[in-house]
A and B are shown apart, each in its own frame.
Chain A
Amino acid sequence: MAYSDKVIDHYTNPRNVGTLDKSSTQVGTGLVGAPECGDVMRLQIQVDENNVITDAKFKTFGCGSAIASSSLATEWLKGKSIDEAITIDNMDIVEELALPPVKIHCSVLAEDAIKAAINDYRVKNGLAPIELEKSHH
Chain B
Amino acid sequence: MNLPIYLDNNATTPMDPRVLEAMLPYFTQKFGNAASRNHHFGWVAEEGVDYAREQVAKLIGASEKEIIFTSGATESDNLAIKGVFEMYKDKGNHIITAVTEHKAVLDACKHVEKLGGKVTYLQVQKDGLVDLEALEAAMTPETILVSIMYGNNEIGVVQPVREIADIAHKHGALFMTDATQAVGKIPVDVNKDGIDLLALSAHKMYGPKGVGALYVRRKGPRVKVTAQMDGGGHERGMRSGTLNVPGIVGLGKACELAYNEMESEAARLSALRDKLQASLTELEESYVNGNVAHRLPHVANVSFKYVEGEGLMMAMKDLAVSSGSACTSASLEPSYVLKSLGLSDDLAHSSIRFGLGRFTTEEEVDYAIEVTKKAVTHLRELSPLWEMFKEGIDLNSIEWAEH
Using CB atoms and an 8 Å cutoff, list the residues of chain A in contact with chain B.
Answer: 1, 3, 11, 14, 17, 19, 31-42, 59-64, 66-67, 102, 105, 108-109, 112
Contact = CB atoms under 8 A, between A and B. Distances in A.
A78 B128 CA distance: 49
Interface stretch (B162-170, B207-215, B250-258, B307-315): B307-315
A102 B330 contact: yes
Given A35-B344, A40-B384, A61-B308, 7 more contacts: A33-B403, A35-B346, A37-B345, A38-B310, A39-B308, A59-B383, A63-B308
Interface residues of B, number: 32
Contact of B382 (A17, A36, A105): A17
Nearest to B334: A38
A66 B332 contact: no
Interface string B315-351: 1000000000111111010100000000011100100
A16 to B, nearest CB: 11
Contacts of B311: 11, 61-64, 66-67
A62 B308 CA distance: 5
B387 A59 contact: yes
Contacts of A67: 311, 382
B403 A42 contact: no
Interface of B: 306-308, 310-311, 314-315, 325-330, 332, 334, 344-346, 349, 381-387, 395, 398, 400-403
B403 A32 contact: yes
Nearest to A100: B328
Nearest to A11: B314
B99 to A, nearest CB: 19
A41 B384 contact: yes
Contacts of A40: 384-385, 400
Contacts of A61: 306-308, 311, 382-386
A2 B172 CA distance: 51
Contacts of A35: 344-346, 349, 385, 395, 400
Contacts of A33: 400-403
A31 B384 contact: yes
A61 to B, nearest CB: 4
14 contacts: A1-B328, A11-B311, A33-B403, A34-B401, A35-B349, A37-B402, A38-B332, A38-B349, A40-B400, A61-B386, A62-B327, A63-B311, A66-B311, A67-B311
Contacts of B383: 59-61
Contacts of B385: 35, 40, 61
Contacts of B400: 33-36, 40
Contacts of B387: 19, 59
A100 B381 CA distance: 26
Nearest to B381: A17
A13 B138 CA distance: 54
B95 to A, nearest CB: 32
B78 to A, nearest CB: 29
B384 A14 contact: no
Contacts of A112: 401, 403
A103 B176 CA distance: 40
A84 B330 CA distance: 31
A22 to B, nearest CB: 11
B374 to A, nearest CB: 13
Contacts of A66: 308, 311, 327
A63 B386 CA distance: 15
Nearest to B349: A38
A38 B401 contact: no
Contacts of A59: 382-384, 387
Contacts of B314: 3, 11, 63-64
A119 to B, nearest CB: 12
Contacts of A19: 387
Contacts of A108: 403
B308 A38 contact: yes
A42 B384 CA distance: 7
A108 B308 CA distance: 18
Contacts of B332: 37-38, 105
A108 B310 CA distance: 18
A81 B395 CA distance: 32
Contacts of B345: 35-38
Contacts of B403: 32-34, 37, 39, 105, 108-109, 112
A122 B345 CA distance: 33
B381 A63 contact: no
Contacts of A63: 308, 310-311, 314, 325, 327-328
Contacts of B329: 102
A38 to B, nearest CB: 4
Contacts of A102: 328-330
Contacts of A105: 332, 403
Contacts of B310: 38, 63-64
Contacts of B344: 35-36
